[in-house]
Structure 1
Amino acid sequence: MKQIEAFVNEVYQGVGGNEKEIKDLKTEMKNHLLEAVYELKKEGKSEQEAIEIAIDRFGGEKEMRSVVGQLFQAQKTFAKRMLYIAFTFLLFGIISFLSLGLFEYQHYQNVEKVGNEILGSLGTQTTISNDAKEIMVTSVEDNKFIYGVKVNSDNSNSDFEFSEDRQETNPFMKHFNTGFSNKDSDWSVEMEISNFDDLTYGSLFIGLVVYWVLFTIWATINAYHHRGLNTGWIIAFALLNVVGYLFFRFVGKGIKNETN
């Protein structure tokens, strides 16, 4: 029935998307309409009346075009949002990595400054002065990323150790010991401090993994809508990410045209 076919074509006119999917949807809609027409004809309606009633019950051309358009627009919107979220996580990972890296650098600079200050207060003396002890205690109490300080000398029985037992709530933050010494004296300083490597590289890793997965999904959806999706391209997107998708857009189309 040409009128049914013309109605279906009008509904999907101008709709962008995967051609095979659109063709299947058009066939499904046409079959539903034809079934409705046959049922109406059994009830005693003429063919023209049956066609008009079936189309009217289906929703009419304008309404159906609106519904179909919204459906395909929703698919495109979903894909776009997924791409935006992917790049948001990528940006988050990079910014977190750079920010934490800068903070860690400043932290180590501060630790080095404290270590040199303690060594400077000890000088070449053979005992630890009260001023030096006060500097060590203050350095631990005033800096939540310094957990303890220990001072000793190879040529002296005098040593001093001060630490605070702090509960670490961040599972990515670990402690490690770092030492300082002065070639002009026999004193050495050992400090227990925070280490941010796991947090710094962990944030970058999480950002990259989430981005990689979401971009692969987005690229797969886009390839499907361009009628070029196959297992090989999915593997290329998963392994090569942006490079794989660019290869699909600029080379895949040529391969598809040649096969057609």
Structure 2
Amino acid sequence: MSQIELFVDSVYKNASGNKQEMQELKAEMKSHLLEAVHELKIEGKSEQEAIEIAIERFGGEKEMRAVVSLLFKAQKIFAKRVLYIAFAFLLISLVASGLIWKAEVGNREENSAIAGSIYEFLDKHSLYTEESEKGLIALVRDAKQITNIRLYKTDDVKTETAEGSISYFNHNAKPFYQYEREKRPSSVMDFYYAHGDQWFIHLESKNLATLVGYLLTAGITIYAVLFTIWAIINAYHHRRLNVGWIIAFALMNVLGYLAYFLVGRRANHN
């Protein structure tokens, strides 16, 4: 049956993959071929005829070599794509979160600057004229993140506790002026600014920071799942997959795979 062994060796000659896996596949193919030869010999075929027919039924050397090569190539490509997609999700979520956080910091700085401009405006103008009201609205026209402005006199919101601490959070106080651009959105942050003993400003601003948490959670979760899948596929191809490594990949991610790699390298050296 040396002809069958030569055929099997020729099929896997140019295949690039895990050696142990290839040996197991070669043994399985050889077993199927020998079984087919045995059945053909029972039917009355000579050994040579049985071998040739069995090989032909299996697909022939060229066809099988192409199939095996494509199989190992497809496995490698799939695993690589899973890994690339995992890192892509992680990178995109980190970059997007960074950009959103930068925009949020810019909004907060702008809110503080607008509060300062409102203080200056209140010191110079009365809000009981239509022209003055238009001037105030103009200060926040381009700040699309601001949804609501409430202006108070400091004495109306300032309270002092028995211990002597001062608070400006009197929710029963009524503003002497309010500008509402839109109804309070689901994600909003309150900013409070006190100006001496005269004015107290309450700004409602859209809060982009909540998106950062959602993006990071989604991106890191997808990355962790895909990386775990890639690590499991890799360990399976090397015939080293077990429950322990699956748990290590799932819980420790890169550190788990690093431990898997170091253990494998030590085993190869021994």
- TM band (smaller chain): 0.7 to 0.9
Tell me which amino acid in the other structure corresponds to 1:230: N
**Rounded Cα–Cα distance in structure 1 between residues aligned with 2:124 and 2:181:** 28
Tell me which amino acid in the other structure corresponds to 2:127: I
Is 1:225 the counterpart of 2:237? The answer is yes
**Rounded Cα–Cα distance in structure 2 between residues aligned with 1:165 and 1:256:** 67
Tell me which amino acid in the other structure corresponds to 2:200: S
Q: Provide, for residues 46-73 of structure 1, a one-character-per-residue CA deviation record: whole Å limited to 9, x for no partner.
A: 1101101211221211221110010011
1:176 to 189, 195, 203: 189
Equivalent position of 2:266 in the other structure = 254
Task: Note closer, same or farther for the CA distance 1:69–1:129 as it changes in structure 2 (3 Å cut).
Answer: same
* Contact persistence 2:152–2:175 (CA under 8 A): yes
Q: Which runs of 5+ in 2 are unaligned?
A: 157-173
Is 1:199 the counterpart of 2:211? The answer is yes
Question: Could you state the TM-score of these two structures normalised by the residue count of structure 2?
Answer: 0.83
Aligned pair count reads 252
**Rounded Cα–Cα distance in structure 2 between residues aligned with 1:177 and 1:167:** 11
**Rounded Cα–Cα distance in structure 2 between residues aligned with 1:232 and 1:252:** 14
Task: Note closer, same or farther for the CA distance 1:119–1:111 as it changes in structure 2 (3 Å cut).
Answer: same
Q: Provide, for residues 45-104 of structure 1, a one-character-per-residue CA deviation record: whole Å limited to 9, x for no partner.
A: 211011012112212112211100100110000000011101100100110111001100
Is 1:89 the counterpart of 2:100? The answer is no
**Rounded Cα–Cα distance in structure 2 between residues aligned with 1:152 and 1:167:** 19
Task: Note closer, same or farther for the CA distance 1:257–1:143 as it changes in structure 2 (3 Å cut).
Answer: same
Q: Provide, for residues 170-199 of structure 1, a one-character-per-residue CA deviation record: whole Å limited to 9, x for no partner.
A: xxx60122111212x411111111111210
Question: Could you state the TM-score of these two structures normalised by the residue count of structure 1?
Answer: 0.86
Equivalent position of 1:10 in the other structure = 10
Structure 1, 8-17 or 146-155: larger mean CA deviation: 8-17
**Rounded Cα–Cα distance in structure 1 between residues aligned with 2:91 and 2:259:** 23
Equivalent position of 1:60 in the other structure = 60
Equivalent position of 1:30 in the other structure = 30
Q: Which runs of 5+ in 1 are unaligned?
A: none
Identity among equivalent positions (%) equals 44
Is 1:165 the counterpart of 2:178? The answer is no
**Rounded Cα–Cα distance in structure 1 between residues aligned with 2:155 and 2:49:** 111
